[in-house]
Amino acid sequence: MNGRTPDPGNPRVAAARLLRQLADGRSISDLLEQGLEAVSPRDRGLVKEFCFGVARWRPRLERIAGQLLSKPIKPKEGEVQALILLGLYQLIYMRVAPHAAVAETVEAARLLRKAWAVGLINALLRRFQRERETLLALADADPLGRYAMPGWLLERIRTDWPEHWEAILQATNCHPPMSLRVNLATNNREQYLSLLAASGIEAAPIPHVPSGLVLDTPMDAEALPGFTEGRVSVQDGGAQLAAVLLDLQAGQQVLDACAAPGGKSGHIMEAAAVQLTAMDLDQRRLERVRQNLQRLGVTAAVVQGDAAKPQGAWADRQYDRILLDVPCSATGVIRRHPDIKLLRRAQDIPALVKIQGEILRAVWPLLKPGGLLLYATCSLLSDENEEQVRRFLEQAPDARERVIMADWGHCRPVGRQTLPGEATMDGFYYACLEKI
């Protein structure tokens, strides 16, 4: 070991440890909150790139590693498995010099006191360099390897989107753009574009989204002109459609029933002078809602509650508008959260469908006659989307669909869907339901 001790600040060591924990079912975002503390600020972006990149391409990287290994790495050696995938990721997808990628990954194994794996990792990565084209061709021969997607999810997307599945899978493996929501209550989009240009920041309007801009190059949100004053927020263009679809009018009572982290709540308050109740089950995430609203300089009732079991003061009134952004598989936002590929399982979907239906049925009585409920997910799966709403409409005689007439997204049997990558957007599903 040459006297070496583990170095938690080494970017590859840090990434290997975080990726090992990802196998335990924890999200990258949660892991990074504490996992970057020992890493220098200069290297934190690199650790994030390692973690998100390996998660994005893991099914493909694992297939390639399987071709190179004579036998699988034991589950207890998760850090070694992570280093192998990390080395392959650098050689295939990053601009790290190949010799540096190999040497630094091998050194990380030494720092992790995995002496037995040093020679293995070195030989494996060097063999990949020699046989690169053959190994990549073998990975591409199988759709699971080509699109780096778990088999069950690939099949679900191919079934639900027979004409679009390949474009969807390609888009999920792309780095997402940084999209902005201009606060139209304080400035218009053209004014803010000029403000960005004056700061040397290039951006373009998002089609079909009056408040939306997409940056040419991502940057720190707090460095955006007027961000701390609430003139602009970071939000995907597809998510910005919600406030538009709610057809808000001043003075209305509005419920955002699954509000955290508060992006859509903030947009609602920017769109009209309404009385908003932002409710969520997670008290910790509600703090994010409060912070978002405070930065925008708006006031709403922020309350903890269970949308599946409405009770308390927020459930004792009726609302003109309800936004129901239900818990879902999040398969429409994989390009932003690639660890969804690893964390989500086929058996999760029926449980999500069940709770979505329970929430929709529980919240519906809180809508005034003549009111509008917007059912929303960031899922691509029909069971969670149009089939969920269709089942509800069959069971609720006082509900009818208000057809979304728009030139964005795709018309579904009920509701409308955006797909990842189209017009810069993530994948969102929306259905407008009116109470008769």
51 is catalytic: no
Q: What is the DSSP letter of 317?
A: S
Q: Report the alpha-carbon distance of residue 424 to residue 412 in Å, rounded.
A: 20
Q: Report the alpha-carbon distance of residue 385 to residue 192 in Å, rounded.
A: 35
Sign of CA dihedral 314, 316, 322, 324: positive
104 φψ region: left (φ > 0), alpha (ψ -120 to 50), beta (else): alpha
Tokens at 152, concatenated = 């069950």
Tokens at 52, concatenated = 């998100």
Tokens at 304, concatenated = 């903890």
Active-site choice (51, 328, 378, 432): 378
Q: Report the alpha-carbon distance of residue 369 to residue 304 in Å, rounded.
A: 25
Q: Report the alpha-carbon distance of residue 312 to residue 160 in Å, rounded.
A: 39
Q: In terms of DSSP bridges, do strands 399-402 and 301-304 run parallel, antiparallel, or are they unpaired? A: unpaired
> Which alpha helices (H) appear in 274-345, and where do they start and end?
283-296, 340-343
Coil, strand or helix at 86: helix
Q: What is the radius of gyration, based on Cα positions, of the chain?
A: 23
Residues with a catalytic annotation lie at: 378
